[in-house]
C-alpha cells in the first residue's frame, strides 16, 4: 500500500508500478535446428516463464492466457517460478488458471528457485542460501543455511498433477509426430543445487534434436558436454530495472540478461518473464514468446 501510494504521487512512478508490468509483449522467434525432422518443420512452442502467482490472476496473467488461446501453439513450455517466495496462496485459483492452458502436444514445466519447499537465492558472497523470509537488500548480508536436499514445493507438485502441465524434473521426454521425435529435457533449479545432468539426459535420443528447459540461465554453462540445441530459461526478468548501473546488480553473469545468446554450439533464450515477485518493471516489459522450429537453413 505504501509503495502504491508513493508511486501514484509521482508521474515517473506510475509507469513502472502500474502500467509496464501489465503491458504484455508477444514476441516471435524463428529457430533453426540441425537435423530437425520434416515432421516438425514449423512446429510452434509457446515459451512462458516466471508466473509469480500471488492470490489471483493479475491483468498480465489474464492477457497471457488470452494470447495462449489465440496463438494455438503445438506445445507450451514453462521455465519456472510458479510461486513467490515458496508461498502457495489460493491453490484452487492457481489450479483453475493453469488448467486453462492447452496444447495438442503437451504443456511442460520445470521448477524455479521460488518453487521449492523453501525459497532459495544468493547471499552477498554469491552463494546459494535458503531464505525464510522475503528477499530484502539487508537479508543478503545475514547468515543463512545452505540448500541441502531441497524438494519441490509439495502442494505445488500435487496441484500441477491436476493441470495440463507435466513437470520435467531432471528428465527427458519425447514429443512424437509422424514417427519422428523431438527431445524435451527439464532440469532442476541451479540455486537449489538440484541440477542432475546424467539423470536428466539419460533418456535423450541422440539421433534427434531437442530443447532444454531450465529456470536459471547460468545453468547453460553446465551443458557444454550434454545434448540439446536450444536452451530456454527465465529468472532474470530481463533485468527488471533495465537501466545502467542498476540492471546487472543481481546477475551472476551480466551477459545472461535477456534474449537469444550463443552458448558454444547451442542457443540460449532468456525470457523477460510474465510476472515478478516485485511488481515493478522499467524498460523490461513482460513477454511470452512463440518459437517456430525450422530445419537448418
- Structural domains present in the chain: 2-295 (3.60.21.10)
Burial of 182 (0-12, 13-18, 19+ CB in 10 A): buried
| Least confident span in 17-31, 245-259, 281-295 | 245-259
Q: What is the pLDDT of residue 57?
A: 84
Q: State the Cα–Cα distance between residues 155 and 149, nearest whole angstrom.
A: 17
CA-to-CA separations, 10 to 14, 105, 244, in angstroms, rounded? 6, 47, 21
Please state the rounded mean pLDDT for residues 255-279.
87
Average pLDDT score, the chain = 87
Q: For residue 232, what is the enclosing H or E element?
A: strand 230-233
Q: What is the pLDDT of residues 50-92, one digit of tens each?
A: 999 988 888 899 999 999 999 999 999 999 999 999 999 999 9
CA-to-CA separations, 248 to 67, 86, 158, 201, in angstroms, rounded? 30, 24, 35, 32
Q: What is the pLDDT of residues 119-134, one digit of tens each?
A: 998 776 777 888 765 5
Residue with grid cell 509457446, as numbered in its chain: 46
What does pTM read for this prediction? 0.88
Amino acid at each position: 500500500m505504501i509503495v502504491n501510494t508513493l508511486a501514484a504521487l509521482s508521474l515517473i512512478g506510475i509507469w513502472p508500478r502500474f502500467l509496464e508490468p501489465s503491458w504484455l509483449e508477444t514476441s516471435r522467434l524463428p529457430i533453426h535446428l540441425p537435423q530437425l525432422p520434416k515432421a516438425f518443420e514449423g512446429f510452434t512452442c509457446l515459451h512462458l516463464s516466471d508466473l509469480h502467482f500471488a492470490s489471483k490472476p493479475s491483468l498480465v496473467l489474464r492477457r497471457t492466457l488470452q494470447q495462449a488461446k489465440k496463438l494455438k501453439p503445438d506445445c507450451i513450455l514453462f521455465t519456472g517460478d510458479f510461486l513467490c517466495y515458496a508461498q502457495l496462496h489460493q491453490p484452487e485459483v492457481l489450479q483453475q488458471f493453469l488448467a486453462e492452458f492447452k496444447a495438442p502436444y503437451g504443456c511442460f514445466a520445470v521448477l524455479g528457485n521460488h518453487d521449492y519447499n523453501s525459497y532459495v537465492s544468493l547471499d552477498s558472497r554469491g552463494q546459494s542460501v535458503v531464505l525464510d523470509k522475503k528477499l530484502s537488500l539487508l537479508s543478503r548480508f545475514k547468515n543463512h543455511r545452505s540448500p541441502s536436499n531441497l524438494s519441490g514445493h509439495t502442494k505445488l507438485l500435487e496441484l500441477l498433477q491436476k493441470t495440463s502441465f507435466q513437470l520435467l524434473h531432471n528428465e527427458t521426454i519425447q514429443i512424437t509426430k509422424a514417427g519422428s521425435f523431438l527431445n524435451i529435457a527439464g532440469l532442476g533449479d541451479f540455486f537449489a543445487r538440484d541440477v542432475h545432468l546424467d539423470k536428466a539426459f539419460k533418456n535423450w535420443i541422440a539421433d534427434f534434436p531437442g530443447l532444454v528447459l531450465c529456470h536459471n540461465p547460468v545453468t547453460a554453462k553446465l551443458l557444454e558436454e550434454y545434448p540439446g540445441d536450444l536452451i530456454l530459461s527465465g529468472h532474470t526478468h530481463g533485468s527488471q530495472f533495465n537501466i545502467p548501473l542498476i540492471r546487472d546488480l543481481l546477475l551472476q553473469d551480466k551477459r545472461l540478461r535477456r534474449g537469444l545468446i550463443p552458448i558454444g554450439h547451442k542457443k540460449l533464450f532468456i525470457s523477460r518473464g510474465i510476472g515478478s515477485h516485485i511488481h515493478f518493471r522499467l524498460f523490461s516489459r513482460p513477454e511470452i514468446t512463440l518459437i517456430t522450429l525450422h530445419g537448418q537453413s
